[in-house]
Amino acid sequence: MDTGSTVVLTGVGAKGQVGEVVARAFADVGASLVLVDRTTTNVAERAAEITAGGGSARGYACDLTDADALSSLVDEVRRNHGDGLRALVHMAGGFAMSGPVAESSLDVWQRQIAINLTTAFLTTRAFLPMLRNEKGAIVLFASEAALPGATGANRSAYAVAKSGVVTLMRSIANEERKNGVRANAVAPSSIRTAANIGAMGENARYVEREEVAAVVTFLCSDAASAISGELLPLT
**Three-state SS across the chain?**
CCCCCEEEEECCCCCCCHHHHHHHHHHHCCCEEEEEECCHHHHHHHHHHHHHCCCEEEEEECCCCCHHHHHHHHHHHHHHHCCCCCEEEECCCCCCCCCCHHHCCHHHHHHHHHHHHHHHHHHHHHHHHHHHHHCCEEEEECCHHHCCCCCCCCCHHHHHHHHHHHHHHHHHHHHHHHHCCEEEEEEECCECCHHHHHHHCCCCCCECHHHHHHHHHHHCCHHHCCCCCCEEEEC
CATH assignment of the domain containing 117: 3.40.50.720
pLDDT at 4: 86
Q: What integer is the mean pLDDT of 127-149?
A: 97
Q: Is residue 101 part of a domain?
A: yes
Per-residue pLDDT at 49 exceeds 80: yes
Q: Is residue 91 part of a domain?
A: yes
Q: CB burial class (10 A; 0-12, 13-18, 19+) of residue 201?
A: exposed
CA pair distance 36, 61, nearest whole angstrom: 6
Phi/psi of residue 187, nearest 5 degrees: -125, 80
Q: Is residue 1 part of a domain?
A: no
Question: What's the pTM?
Answer: 0.97
Per-residue pLDDT at 98 exceeds 90: yes
Mean pLDDT, rounded, of the chain: 97
CA pair distance 218, 225, nearest whole angstrom: 10
Of all residues in the chain, the percent with pLDDT exceeding 70 is 100
Q: Is residue 93 part of a domain?
A: yes
Per-residue pLDDT at 1 exceeds 80: no
pLDDT at 3: 80
Q: What integer is the mean pLDDT of 71-92?
A: 98
pLDDT band at 168 (very low <50, low <70, confident <90, very high): very high
Check: CB of residue 139 under 8 Å from CB of residue 92. Answer: no
Into how many domains does the chain fold?
1
Phi/psi of residue 15, nearest 5 degrees: -65, 145
Per-residue pLDDT at 212 exceeds 90: yes
pLDDT at 2: 77
Q: What integer is the mean pLDDT of 58-77?
A: 98
Per-residue pLDDT at 87 exceeds 90: yes
Q: Is residue 202 part of a domain?
A: yes
Per-residue pLDDT at 48 exceeds 80: yes
The count of residues in the chain is: 235
Q: Is residue 193 part of a domain?
A: yes
From the list 165, 25, 32, the residue with the least C-alpha distance to 86 is 32
* Residues whose CB falls within 8 Å of the CB of residue 184, separated by 6 or more in sequence, listed in order: 137, 138, 139, 140, 169, 173, 219, 224, 227, 228, 229, 230, 231, 232
* Domain extent for 197: 6-234
Which residues carry out catalysis? Answer: 158
Q: What integer is the mean pLDDT of 211-221?
A: 98
Q: What integer is the mean pLDDT of 45-58?
A: 97
